[in-house]
Structure 1
């Protein structure tokens, strides 16, 4: 299995909200955790949460690190009309070439808080 290719395709299917393809990535007993909202999902629940999320989505994997059976990805997801953008840092653990555990941390892309802007500290990354 080319794990890098598999994770890149996974994120494409997440953005496309493809429930049939998403099911194929997971072991039936996989657990998916969204830590920012304190939610834990079964595979079926995750697919509902992902595929019924409103809007048309795009995605781009910005960084991928592979350590044995663990893949760490940083992915930007945005609405196709560019009205919303977020980044997900994901820890994806594989077992027998399927995802057994997915821990995600989401952050909304937004301007720095006013107090930091007022101090004129930091600069744009890109």
Structure 2
């Protein structure tokens, strides 16, 4: 499976192409919101999500029939951003199971900022790493 093409079709909300990446009876789970979807439901929730999106793959690891993808997604106006980690189980080059963990990006909590330790990974509203 071409993970780059899959990512682009997710980000561009390509309703026509997305089903082809999945086995007909694949299972998709969003653990952070306790939801499980069929392929049809997943395509609908992804493609009907409001706004236009941009995104980047930050890391891909492959091990046998499993692909682990870490990515960042944000609306085109970059008013917010989110990270996703996807565990993708393939059979015959198609997705049989996909377990995703989504998180809103944001500031460290106040109690940790008061400790005055650590530093940003990237500058605010950019994809660049902090010095």
Q: What TM bracket, shorter-length normalisation?
A: over 0.9
Mapped partners of 1:125, 1:58: distance in 2: 20
Question: Would you say 1:57 and 2:47 are equivalent positions?
Answer: no
What residue is the counterpart of 1:114 in the other structure?
Answer: 110
What residue is the counterpart of 2:101 in the other structure?
Answer: 105
- Partner deviation per Cα, 1:46-96 (whole Å, 9 max, x = no partner): 011100000000111000000011000001011000012001000001101
1:8-27 to 2 correspondence within 5 Å?
8-27=4-23
- Partner deviation per Cα, 1:15-65 (whole Å, 9 max, x = no partner): 000011101100000000000000000000001110000000011100000
What residue is the counterpart of 2:126 in the other structure?
Answer: none
What residue is the counterpart of 2:128 in the other structure?
Answer: none
Query: Any stretches of 5+ residues in structure 2 without a counterpart?
Result: 123-131
Mapped partners of 1:11, 1:108: distance in 2: 19
SS in 2 for 1:19: coil
Question: Would you say 1:78 and 2:74 are equivalent positions?
Answer: yes
Name the count of aligned residue pairs.
122
Give 1:115 shift: 1.0
Query: Any stretches of 5+ residues in structure 1 without a counterpart?
Result: none
Give 1:119 shift: 1.4
Question: Would you say 1:125 and 2:90 are equivalent positions?
Answer: no
State the superposition RMSD in angstroms: 0.7
SS in 1 for 2:17: helix
Deviation >6 Å, runs of 4+:
none
